[in-house]
């Protein structure tokens, strides 16, 4: 961990749960969710629930959520911090949402009435198929062929953090402020002037590394190392994949008789590299 780091990185497991997963900081999670959830749904109180959910039999797979909470009216909230893109990520989201649905089943006579289930995914990556849209917040519900909501009690909300690029002077809403602090907190040395509300004062107080106990600091350093190692692997894989694509594009261009200088300008490969391609 760099000595100049003052605040924790909320994309680390330790950092995320330190800020949002403890009873003393429950108001931080409530305020964040109230900015992210649909406007019609405001939370006044919630209870942390066991993060590990087991299937109905020992043979069933289990799901381990980052945070799992229950609202005062029985609503279920799964909050996940996703550091890297995974295969079948959307399938995983649907699978996870099935647990808080199934657990509402009651023995005996039951009318199947369910409380609402929300899955909030804070993503440190973008969906490749949605990259052109550049949207930060995606709200997904089950709809019919007329694009009308068929079932309003199951909602997926994804926050694509790389798409949030507002600067401090551009922050207008509390949603903007939450997105800004989640993305920029590890790079800050003091609380920004635009984030003077009491809730953000508490957030920055909780995130200040100097206030950690020796044990907390050790756990955070381990969590930060894991996060950075994972990011390095992902970034390296992306760059290797990008280079491989550029080489194949250059090879096709060369076969079509295009000038090596032009190919170099378009792909970023050197003329020498292009001349060596078959």
pLDDT of the residue at 107: 86
**Rounded distance between C-alpha atoms, residue 165 and residue 161, angstroms:** 9
For 32-88, the pLDDT digits (tens) are 999 999 877 789 899 998 766 545 444 444 566 789 999 988 999 999 988 877 778
pLDDT in tens, 183-238: 999 999 999 999 999 999 999 999 999 999 999 999 999 999 988 887 776 667 66
Q: How many CA atoms lie within 13 A of 259 on its CB side?
A: 3
Query: What is the chain's mean pLDDT, rounded?
Result: 86
Cα-based angle 90, 46, 174 (whole degrees, multiple of 5): 70
Beta-carbon contacts of residue 41 (< 8 Å; ≥ 6 apart): 75, 116, 118
Q: What region, left, alpha or beta, does residue 136 occupy, with left being phi > 0 and alpha being psi -120 to 50 degrees?
A: alpha
Please give the pLDDT value at position 86: 74
Q: Provide the H-helix boundaries in 166-197.
A: 174-184
Per-residue confidence (pLDDT) for residue 58, from 0 to 100? 42
The per-residue pLDDT for 239 is 65
Taking the domains of the chain in order of start, what are their residue ranges? 13-211, 212-278
pLDDT for residue 16: 94
Q: What is the mean pLDDT of residues 94-120?
A: 92
Question: Distance between CA atoms of 184 and 248, rounded to whole angstroms?
Answer: 37
């Amino acid at each position: 961990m760099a000595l100049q780091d003052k605040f924790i990185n909320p994309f680390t497991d330790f950092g995320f749960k330190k800020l949002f997963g403890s009873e003393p900081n429950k108001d931080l999670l409530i305020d964040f969710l109230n900015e992210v959830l649909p406007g019609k749904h405001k939370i006044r109180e919630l209870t942390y629930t066991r993060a590990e959910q087991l299937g109905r039999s020992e043979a069933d797979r289990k799901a381990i959520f980052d945070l799992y909470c229950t609202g005062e009216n029985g609503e279920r909230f799964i909050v996940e911090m996703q550091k890297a893109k995974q295969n079948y990520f959307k399938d995983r989201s649907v699978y996870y949402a099935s647990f808080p649905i199934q657990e509402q089943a009651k023995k005996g006579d039951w009318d199947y009435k369910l409380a609402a289930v929300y899955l909030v995914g804070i993503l440190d990556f973008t969906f490749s198929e949605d990259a052109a849209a550049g949207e930060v917040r995606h709200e997904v519900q089950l709809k019919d062929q007329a694009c009308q909501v068929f079932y309003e009690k199951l909602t997926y909300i994804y926050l694509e953090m790389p798409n949030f690029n507002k600067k401090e002077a551009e922050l207008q809403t509390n949603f903007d402020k939450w997105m800004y602090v989640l993305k920029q907190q590890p790079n800050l040395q003091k609380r920004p002037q635009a984030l003077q509300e009491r809730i953000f004062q508490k957030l920055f107080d909780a995130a200040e590394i100097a206030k950690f106990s020796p044990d907390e600091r050790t756990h955070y350093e381990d969590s930060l190392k894991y996060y950075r190692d994972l990011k390095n692997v992902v970034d390296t894989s992306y760059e290797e994949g990008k280079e491989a694509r550029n080489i194949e594009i250059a090879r096709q261009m060369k076969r079509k008789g295009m000038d090596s200088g032009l190919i170099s300008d378009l792909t970023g490969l050197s003329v020498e590299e292009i001349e060596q391609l078959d």
